[in-house]
Chains A and B, each alone.
Chain A
Amino acid sequence: MRISEHPYADLLRIEMMPNIWCSGCRIGRVKNAFIEAIEHLGHDHDRCTVVSGIGCSSRIAGYLRLDGIHATHGRAIPTALGVKLANPKLKVSVMGGDGDILGIGGNHFLALGRHGYDINVFCLNNFGYSMTGFQHGPTTPLGARTITTSAGNPYVPINPVAVAMAAGHTFVARSTSSHPYHLIDCMISAMKNAGPSFVEVLIPCMLFERRNKIKSLEALFVEKAKIKETMSVEDINQDDFTKEISLGVFRNAPKREKHRLSLVKAAKKGTGKQYHVDFQSMTSGIKHMQIRMEGTGGQGIVQGGKTLINAAMNMDPKLNSTLTKKYGPEMKGGSCVADVLLSSQAIDYPFVEVPDLLLMMSDLVTKERGGEVIINKNGTIVADESMVDFSLLDNFPETVKVFKMPATRIARENFRVVVANNVLMGFVCKKTSVIDKNCFKAAILKSAPPGTEEMNLAAFDAGYEFGKT
Chain B
Amino acid sequence: MTDAKQRVLLTGNDAVVEGLCCAAGDKRRIVYAGYPITPASEIATRASVVLPKRGGAFIQMEDEIGSIQAVAGAGLAGAIAVTATSGPGFSLMSEGLGFAAMVESPLICVNVQRGGPSTGMPTWMGQGDMMQARWGTHGERPVIVLVPNSVEETLLLSYEACMLSQKYLMPVVLMLDEIIGHMEEPITVPDLPPIPLDQDVEIIGDGHRFHRTGLTHDLENHLPRINPQAEEDVVRYLLDKVKRDAKEIVKYETYGNPADAEVVVVCYGSESRAVKAAIKQARKKKFNVAMLRLITAWPFPKDFFRKLDTKKRVYLVAEVNAGQMRIEVERYIKKGTVRRLNLMGGRIHTPAEILYALKSLVTSH
Which chain A residues have a beta carbon within 8 Å of chain B's beta carbons? 13, 15-16, 45-47, 49, 51, 61-62, 65-72, 75, 77-83, 85-87, 89-90, 107-108, 110-111, 115, 306, 309-310, 313, 317, 319-329, 347-351, 353
Chain A residues near B6 (CB-CB < 8 A): 317
Chain B minimum-CB-distance residue to A49: B204
Q: Which residue in A62, A67, A86, A306 is a CB contact (below 8 Å) of B208?
A: A67
A244 CA to B142 CA, complexed, in Å:
52
Pick from B70-78, B159-167, B168-176, B311-319 the stretch touching chain A.
Answer: B70-78
Q: Is the CB of A323 within 8 A of B62?
A: no
Give 21 pairs: A residue, B residue, CB < 8 Å, sorted on A. A46-B205, A70-B214, A71-B73, A75-B65, A77-B66, A79-B69, A79-B73, A81-B33, A82-B74, A85-B57, A87-B29, A87-B204, A90-B205, A111-B61, A309-B184, A317-B7, A321-B9, A321-B186, A324-B182, A325-B182, A353-B350
Interface size on B, residues (CB 8 A): 65
Q: Is the CB of B59 within 8 A of A115?
A: yes
B311 shortest CB reach to chain A, Å: 28
B67 lies within 8 A of chain A by Cβ: yes
B155 lies within 8 A of chain A by Cβ: no
A sample of 17 more A-B contacts (CB under 8 A), given A81-B33, A83-B77, A86-B79, is A46-B206, A67-B208, A69-B76, A79-B70, A79-B72, A81-B59, A82-B71, A83-B73, A107-B62, A317-B186, A320-B185, A324-B183, A325-B182, A327-B123, A348-B280, A350-B273, A353-B350
Chain A minimum-CB-distance residue to B207: A46
Once A86-B81, A348-B280 are accepted as A-B contacts, the answer to whether A70 and B215 lie under 8 Å apart by CB is yes
Q: Which residue in A46, A66, A75, A320 is a CB contact (below 8 Å) of B186?
A: A320
Once A111-B62, A309-B184, A323-B184 are accepted as A-B contacts, the answer to whether A82 and B81 lie under 8 Å apart by CB is yes
Q: Is the CB of B214 within 8 A of A71?
A: yes
Q: Which residue in A65, A66, A86, A327 is a CB contact (below 8 Å) of B77?
A: A86
B357 lies within 8 A of chain A by Cβ: no
Q: Is chain B's interface secondary structure helix, strand, loop, or mixed overall?
A: mixed
Chain B residues near A353 (CB-CB < 8 A): 350-352
Pick from B16-24, B95-103, B229-237 the stretch touching chain A.
Answer: B95-103
A373 shortest CB reach to chain B, Å: 18
A-B CB contacts (within 8 Å), total count: 196
Q: Is the CB of A82 within 8 A of B208?
A: no
Q: Is the CB of A78 within 8 A of B350?
A: no
Among A45, A83, A115, the one with the most B-chain Cβ atoms within 10 Å of its Cβ is A83
Q: Is the CB of A66 within 8 A of B212?
A: no
Once A46-B209, A67-B204, A115-B59 are accepted as A-B contacts, the answer to whether A78 and B69 lie under 8 Å apart by CB is yes
A309 CA to B103 CA, complexed, in Å:
45
Once A78-B66, A86-B77, A87-B78 are accepted as A-B contacts, the answer to whether A66 and B215 lie under 8 Å apart by CB is no
